[in-house]
Structure 1
Amino acid sequence: MMLPNSAQEDDTFVWTVEGQPCGEFSASKTWEALRPKESEKEWADLVWFKGSTPKQAFHMWLANLDRLPTRSRLASWGMNIPITCCLCGVSEETRDHLFLHCQFSQVLWKAVLQKLKLPQTLFTDWRALLAWSKDFNPSSPKTLRILVVHAVVYNVWRQRNNIYHNQVSIPPLTIFRDIDRLIRNSITARRNLKSFRNLMALWLS
């Protein structure tokens, strides 16, 4: 290989990603080439979907991975704290109890299912909730169900923290009004997306 000299052409550089030349540097292509990759999880579209609210999706992601710092998890880390649920004060505060089995959460699910004109359902575990989220019918398409699940999870966790940190208790039906407002705002903000166009009429019917 000969060293360049002034008599030869000017040096040039080419960005290549995985052996393919790019016209210019691309941060997204470089990140895709460098980042660790795994197969797509079956729950991915229930957490990260077009039209999701980032802070609600983030909480749903943590809840789905069972990484929220519930009292049960905090105690398992060695913290000397009671493990009873902040919302009901009866059962151990685990993810499934907090979001599915707690009396506080069940009031919210009852109100949600009544709003959607669906049969009252008791979610036995987190998998049952995800299965319900994937299901659909003309009155409650998948996008609307996912919006509801995100809003419930976000608001239950927020209320749990409100009690845990501030000792402020708010009745569940008051929290449901917050959920209702969040869902309306989400639908209104994304009304131009195809999957959101008919959701307001379904939610308000």
Structure 2
Amino acid sequence: MAAGYLNNVWLQDPKGYLVASGYHWLHGIHPHVQWYDDIWNVWGVPKHALIGWLIKHEALNTMMKLKQIGICSTDQCLLCENGQETHEHLFVQCDYSQRVLQYVTLWLQDTGNQGSSIVKTRIRRVAMLACWYLIWLERNRCRHELMLARPEKIGKEVQMLVRQRIQHFIQKPVGNNDNNWLVQIGTNVI
């Protein structure tokens, strides 16, 4: 890298020097991962996105990781007590998490079958991140306070968070199909 800097390689862009070309020269160009838009989207809550990003990178301190480094004596899932707590288990296979996701999925179902739209896609992304965030929060609450709320309660918290995001982002009328769906899921917009 130092040789490239000393030889002015970063200035060899045909358009002249651009900050973007200097940045790309320094850091390189990374491929766009498939899940990027699901995590880092305009409607998302930043702390939810951070947890989503950590999940995708399997970087949360699950019970399996804590046992491996000697902090815990068990790696059992704290939410369902039925399996080793890994990222895959906690956010996909865990009975507790599945019940939360099922509650939210049923709520967001489009009974009118009008297909997907940008609004619906964004709302579903916000809901998924909120589910993951609240499942992780509940898992930590269970670990540190020895308390566990019912999955339906977590599902209702997801609904509340998603409705707040909808109210914040939808400031103008949407198409009839989206509007009908928003009414169906109990969101009063415009």
TM range (shorter): 0.7 to 0.9
Structure 1 portions without partners, runs of 5+? 1-15, 120-135
Q: What value does the CA root-mean-square deviation take over the aligned residues?
A: 3.1
Does 2:47 correspond to 1:59?
Answer: no
Separation in structure 1 between the aligned mates of residue 172 and residue 51 of structure 2, nearest angstrom = 23
Partner residue in 2 for 1:34: 26
Of 71, 75, 78, which residue of structure 2 is paired with 1:83?
A: 75
Does 2:186 correspond to 1:204?
Answer: yes
Of 128, 134, 142, which residue of structure 2 is paired with 1:149?
A: 128
Partner residue in 2 for 1:179: 158
The percentage of aligned residue pairs carrying the same residue is 24
Separation in structure 2 between the aligned mates of residue 34 and residue 192 of structure 1, nearest angstrom = 40
Separation in structure 2 between the aligned mates of residue 201 and residue 17 of structure 1, nearest angstrom = 55
The letter for the 1-side match of 2:97 is S
| Equivalenced residues, count | 170
CA deviations 1:42-93 (Å, max 9, x no partner) are 1111111122110001100111111111101222334342111111122111
Normalised by the size of structure 2, how large is the TM-score?
Answer: 0.74
Separation in structure 1 between the aligned mates of residue 31 and residue 173 of structure 2, nearest angstrom = 27
Instruction: State whether residues 17 and 33 of structure 1, in contact with CA within 8 Å, keep that contact through their aligned partners in structure 2.
Output: no
Offset of residue 154 of structure 1? 0.5
Instruction: State whether residues 87 and 163 of structure 1, in contact with CA within 8 Å, keep that contact through their aligned partners in structure 2.
Output: yes
Q: Note closer, same or farther for the CA distance 1:32–1:204 as it changes in structure 2 (3 Å cut).
A: farther
Partner residue in 2 for 1:10: none
In our comparison, the structure showing a higher alpha carbon Rg is 1
Structure 2 portions without partners, runs of 5+? 1-9
Q: Highest relative contact order (Cα 8 Å, sep 6+), 1 or 2? A: 2
Instruction: State whether residues 143 and 195 of structure 1, in contact with CA within 8 Å, keep that contact through their aligned partners in structure 2.
Output: no
The letter for the 2-side match of 1:145 is R
Does 2:85 correspond to 1:93?
Answer: yes
Structure number having the greater helix percentage: 2
Separation in structure 2 between the aligned mates of residue 93 and residue 193 of structure 1, nearest angstrom = 43
Offset of residue 108 of structure 1? 1.0
The letter for the 1-side match of 2:115 is N
Q: Note closer, same or farther for the CA distance 1:170–1:191 as it changes in structure 2 (3 Å cut).
A: same
Offset of residue 36 of structure 1? 4.1
